[in-house]
Chain A
Amino acid sequence: AQKITQTQPGMFVQEKEAVTLDCTYDTSDQSYGLFWYKQPSSGEMIFLIYQGSYDEQNATEGRYSLNFQKARKSANLVISASQLGDSAMYFCAMREGRGGSNYKLTFGKGTLLTVNP
């Protein structure tokens, strides 16, 4: 079973509008972390935002916010005031557990966002 599910292979949004990219996750751990990455056509994965499972507030980073609904196991990314440069692949990822000397992230299949002028 997939641990990270991104149900939207592609999304379109008009410039300056807000868009929500969906992510649901599956874990039995109480402690975990959720990440969103952006991958432009250049290939580099760029970290956008992080939400810890014990964080009571939704994470925000500039125009990015994470709509964290723990009971529903969802961690949707909201991009406000979309810009043309936001066109890229967006990946949701999860780190499970705590402790140990290294962490592994499990990634979803991604959502291709296209911002139209």
Chain B
Amino acid sequence: ETGVTQTPRHLVMGMTNKKSLKCEQHLGHNAMYWYKQSAKKPLELMFVYNFKEQTENNSVPSRFSPECPNSSHLFLHLHTLQPEDSALYLCASSQDIGRAAGELFFGEGSRLTVL
């Protein structure tokens, strides 16, 4: 099993659909993150959870709704998205101790296309 697993890897949805992205980490980390990667832009931090509590919402539109039921699982619920939301959504986890604290371990991403 890889450290951070994301499903689905690819998703195509219409603007009126409701879908969810799932992330699972098997590393025993306490923090989990959603990042958005659009073409020709730096990675954008969306949400941070630490011990299941949301500690950061980086002014993300409400059509993106995160859920973190436990420290190992993170969801991103999608509703009435716009075409400009098409991007690669990366989940990551980290442990906030140690020399390289904050080192992010990423999943392979979910490639979202909104039609």
Contacts and interface: CB of A to CB of B under 8 A. Distances in A.
Interface string B6-32: 000000000000000000000000110
Interface string B45-65: 100101100011000000000
Contacts of A42: 108
B42 A44 contact: no
Interface residues of B, number: 29
A33 B107 CA distance: 22
Contacts of B50: 101-102
Interface string B78-115: 00000000001010101010011111111111010000
A95 B102 contact: yes
Given A101-B96, A102-B48, A108-B42, A43 B103 contact: no
5 contacts: A52-B100, A102-B55, A104-B48, A108-B42, A109-B40
